[in-house]
Structure 1
């Protein structure tokens, strides 16, 4: 009996040790997989941000970007796309711009702000309107070639999947207290404005400032619930302006037709200053 118990105990010990060794090999294999995928998918919980060096890094000290300029331009590991509506198509891009990029665009724009206008359907020129009460400016073609602006342009192109040359010049806007932009469509309903690059198909709206009360981007035709817009409760969906975030939305549906549900507006600012930058993407290269 005693010898039988010894044999059983020995077998149990052998099996247990084998299971432990197998589990250790499995953990090592999983860790190896995580490391191999880390540079392409830097969203594992083991990844953390180095505060001073400006890139993501594994705890063992291996930087994810690893001098990859393309990854740095695209802010891989920082930008987090979140689909917030399928009809209309709206994607919230968290951490799309760095703090330095936001401040840079504001610094360029501040000395050259003028009262915002809307596009006249007959002439294609900007005209003043109470539909839009902000102030703004467009970057020049020369400024489009500045390295930091080029990086932003490249990022917009990749995330929107629209060629850089199809984009209009970036417009920087400032909304002060009580200023707003009433709901409207970005696509054109006339033929004059279609001559340069065709229809506007997508818009990227980037937020450049924080600590703003109100000033949400409002989509009255999106969602089935209620949202806050300039301190009021409205039907639809709204996006709070958070510095560095961006909203990508499509003015054309999957059928290639203009999407009426893409109507949107800038809610009234209650306090603070709302700074934003807009990039419109066309069907063809703009001349």
Structure 2
């Protein structure tokens, strides 16, 4: 299906879903948790960008499970850099969190969360990147940035642009740690930190999820989707991110299956830091998942 047609259909279905106001409007895909989708928990917070908050999207058990999968495996977060059309991940001082990636459908709980995201967004599961678990300590932040990819980089050509992002909060943050949209026309959030005052800000509350679209329905990029993670002032912040593309990512993984190669330029560094042993499912793969760093982890 043409990605433009898909995005228009998704937008229509999404808003019809919100307008129904009925609990359990949709069941979840196979492998998901038993918690049904409840549109009455979803609040539209802005049109520019199109952004929505789902109260209680994750259960306490799901939050605890995701955190447990990440503990002991976190590394310094990287940022995307596509200078001169050469897409790579690098360390940047404007992003100071730590994180790690899970394998697609790594276990039953992760598969259930991924299915729940697809149910809410009306975007196919196969269009989603691996879940990234992030931890922010005191003072750690991610300065304002956009999630969409710039023209002519290799990743966009292969997978289509990032159309939407789902941010899931797995802990309450006593002060700070808000997700702020500096370019949003919406105002009046209940957050009082200086960072949060620059635009509409969503407070990190355990179990809540934020969905926002990086592309307009006509597939052009939406600069108002500029967003950042405010510094944590008191407490700590755990979150999980799912980036969703306009095209399926499955073909890319199937093509790579059986080939001993690295699919991330950071693989050699990760291997030297012992990440092959700390995060084997993502880096080396399993009988069900293709690893992203097979060459650097010595699987050739």
Equivalent-residue separation in structure 2 for 1:275 and 1:202 (angstroms): 20
Q: 1:163-222: per-residue Cα shift (whole Å, max 9, x none)?
A: 000000000000000010000000011422203311000000000112431000000111
The TM-score with structure 1 as length reference comes to 0.72
Equivalent-residue separation in structure 1 for 2:101 and 2:71 (angstroms): 11
Matches within 5 A, 1:1-287: 41-42=22-23, 73-77=34-38, 80-122=41-83, 123-141=86-104, 144-192=105-153, 193-225=155-187, 227=189, 228=191, 230-232=193-195, 234-286=197-249, 287=252
SS state at 1:234 partner: helix
SS state at 1:247 partner: strand
Unaligned runs of at least 5 residues, structure 2: 1-20, 253-300
In structure 2, the partner of 1:33 is: none
Unaligned runs of at least 5 residues, structure 1: 1-39, 44-64
Question: Which protein has the bigger strand share?
Answer: 1
Equivalent-residue separation in structure 2 for 1:226 and 1:82 (angstroms): 15
- The structure with the largest alpha-carbon Rg is 1
Give yes or no for contact 1:226–1:237 (8 Å, CA) kept in 2. yes
Residue 198 and residue 80 in structure 1: after superposition, are their counterparts in 2 closer, same or farther (change >3 A)?
Answer: same
Aligned residue-pair number: 225
Give yes or no for contact 2:31–2:112 (8 Å, CA) kept in 1. no
SS state at 2:62 partner: helix
Residue 70 and residue 194 in structure 1: after superposition, are their counterparts in 2 closer, same or farther (change >3 A)?
Answer: closer
Q: 1:113-166: per-residue Cα shift (whole Å, max 9, x none)?
A: 00001012143221000110000001124xx24110111001101111110000
In structure 2, the partner of 1:61 is: none
Q: 1:12-40: per-residue Cα shift (whole Å, max 9, x none)?
A: xxxxxxxxxxxxxxxxxxxxxxxxxxxx9
Residue 206 and residue 221 in structure 1: after superposition, are their counterparts in 2 closer, same or farther (change >3 A)?
Answer: same
Equivalent-residue separation in structure 2 for 1:220 and 1:149 (angstroms): 31
SS state at 2:159 partner: coil
Residue 78 and residue 208 in structure 1: after superposition, are their counterparts in 2 closer, same or farther (change >3 A)?
Answer: farther
Equivalent-residue separation in structure 2 for 1:176 and 1:190 (angstroms): 34
Cα RMSD of the aligned pairs, angstroms, is 2.7
Give yes or no for contact 1:174–1:274 (8 Å, CA) kept in 2. yes
Residue 88 and residue 233 in structure 1: after superposition, are their counterparts in 2 closer, same or farther (change >3 A)?
Answer: closer
1:231 deviation in Å?
4.3
